[in-house]
Amino acid sequence: MSLIRYQAPELTPWPAPDRWNTLRDELNSFFELPLWSSFPRAGQLFTGWSPALDLHQSTDNIVAVVELPGMRKEEIEISLHDGTLTISGERKRESTDGEKAERTERYVGVFRRSIALPTRVDASKVSATYHDGILIVTLPKAEEVKPKQIQVS
Amino acid sequence: MNTLTRENRDADRAQTEQFIVPPSSVIEGSDGYTLEVEMPGVNKDALDISIENNELTIIGRRSLPKIEGTLIHHESRPENFRRTFELDPSIGANKISAKIEQGLVTLTLPKAEHVKPRKITVS
């Protein structure tokens, strides 16, 4: 038995790139139809709720800003595991006795949003605030990843 | 009865400022409608609700928190929110009330007295 190094098979010729571009443009233009563009976040229909998340980095902190409109503070869970920040929770429907929803675009139910952090953080010093439907999680960087000046003596 | 939920999309296009159309929900109860619109980053003072020609317009201007450092991952959009609804004639426009809590605008639109369901007893 001989051990032969795996070789990638020859690439079969794909259609010329410009054909793909045309196809992509056509697909894009489909999603740019007025119907789709005026329907907010059409993608959520299929994927549930994935709240918009921004990540900022300064010398001392990583700050995550998440748009979570209409939640209660107690319903938001923040966890840190293996360098991944996870924000999860459940948005409950208000009482629906004798009421019917005419149209619902707002997501109701469980959501979960994770993001890998670029550096190590000090899990014991993480803090969070929630105002106007925006969650801000401040994660101080771990001491060993902060830039340090070393003086030559 | 369904015109409450009909939007005026042409009005959106006429504007030069770009707005985000925020997700909203309409819930019908026996006394009226509840309208919920998601506007994260908008506080009470930056919310502008107006009714003109039976058209309800909700504009929310965001005051986004200033965060120190560089943006390394970006999903949010900076534009303000705007959404318009055509009001059903059954709604008593002068009785509309609104509140905003954690970026969620809730409008209560009571039905005018004459359209509320009524029981008529046979005498």
Residue A29 sits in the same domain as residue A59:
no
- Within the 59-118 window of chain A, which residues sit less than 8 Å (CB to CB) from chain B? 59, 61, 63, 65, 67-72, 96, 98-107, 115, 118
User: Do the beta carbons of residue A122 and residue A142 sit within 8 Å?
Assistant: yes
Strands B19-20 and B80-86 come out as: parallel
Residue A75 sits in the same domain as residue A116:
yes
With bands split at pLDDT 50, 70 and 90, how would you rate the model's confidence at A36?
Answer: very low
User: Closest-CA residue in chain A for B8?
Assistant: A38
Measured at the alpha carbon of residue A93, what is the angle toward residues A90 and A99, in degrees to the nearest 5? 170
pLDDT (tens digit per residue) in A41-91: 444 444 578 899 999 999 999 999 999 999 999 999 999 998 999 999 988
- Whether A23 is in a domain gets the answer yes
Residue A7's pLDDT is what? 58
Strands (E) across chain A are located at 53-57, 61-67, 76-81, 84-91, 100-104, 109-116, 127-131, 134-140
Residue B60's pLDDT is what? 95
pLDDT (tens digit per residue) in A64-78: 999 999 999 999 999
- Whether A3 is in a domain gets the answer no
By residue range, what is the domain housing residue A124?
A: 48-93+108-147
What is the model's pTM?
0.72
pLDDT (tens digit per residue) in A96-105: 566 677 778 8
Residue A39's pLDDT is what? 47
Residue A135 sits in the same domain as residue A119:
yes
Residue A72 sits in the same domain as residue A20:
no
What are the structural domains, with CATH classification, of chain B? 3-65+74-115 (2.60.40.790)
Comparing CA positions, the residue from B56, B59, B53, B40 lying closest to residue B97 is B56
- Whether A88 is in a domain gets the answer yes
- Within the 53-92 window of chain B, which residues sit less than 8 Å (CB to CB) from chain A? 63-65, 67-77
Tokens found for residue A86 = 């996870």
